[in-house]
Structures are given as C-alpha cells and as structure tokens.
Amino acid sequence: MLTVIATMPIKEGKMDEALQEIRGLLVKVAKEQGTVLYSLNVDKANPNTLVVVEQYTDQAALDFHSSTPYFKEFFTKASGLLGGAPEIVTFQEIARAR
C-alpha cells in the first residue's frame, strides 16, 4: 500500500474555487481501480492550506492516477489557485491496525 500526502497552500480568496475543483476531482478518482482512499482535509492551524491524503494498492495504481487527463487538467487549473508549490510526500506502508 502506498500513501501520498499532498499539502497545498491556497491563495487568499481562492479557497472556494480550490474546493470546487478538488471535489470534482474526488468524484473521478473514486472510480479509479486501485484507489483505496482520497481524502480532502483543511489544516486546522492554517485554514488556507488543503491536505489530500491518498492511498493506492500499488505503484501501478498511483501511476495510473497521475497520468489521467482529469488529474493533469486539475493541476493546470490549480496553478492559478496555489499560493506556493505543493508539497507531495509518498510513503510505503509497513504495518496497519484497524
């Protein structure tokens, strides 16, 4: 299992537009085979920062997600909404408790 955490600073006044774009992306990502979780969150300490927590069954599922036309389109639109470079970190799961 791979986990990706994407932290995105949003420009002042652009949060509603950013949320709309990401919510549209969520609908499409939910249908991808190999996507386990795609969760949109706001940083409680910084309300202009969105954090997307993603989980994929394997690298192939993550690669597929990253190559979809709608994901590429999202990042084109997001460039006008971001207040800085997103930070994207990928983790390999080694243990899980339920």
pLDDT tens-digit profile of 25-69?
Answer: 999 999 999 999 999 999 999 999 999 999 999 999 999 999 999
Asked whether residue 1 is domain-assigned, the answer is no
Domain count, the chain: 1
| 67 part of a folded domain | yes
| 3 assigned to some structural domain | no
User: Which CATH number fits the domain that encloses residue 49?
Assistant: 3.30.70.100
> pLDDT tens, 58-78?
999 999 999 999 999 998 988
Q: Would residue 18 count as lying in a domain?
A: yes
Does residue 39 lie within any of the structural domains? yes
Q: In what order do the strands lie in the sheet with 87-92?
A: 35-43, 46-56, 2-9, 87-92
Q: Could you tell me if residue 75 is inside a domain?
A: yes
Full domain range(s) for residue 54:
8-92
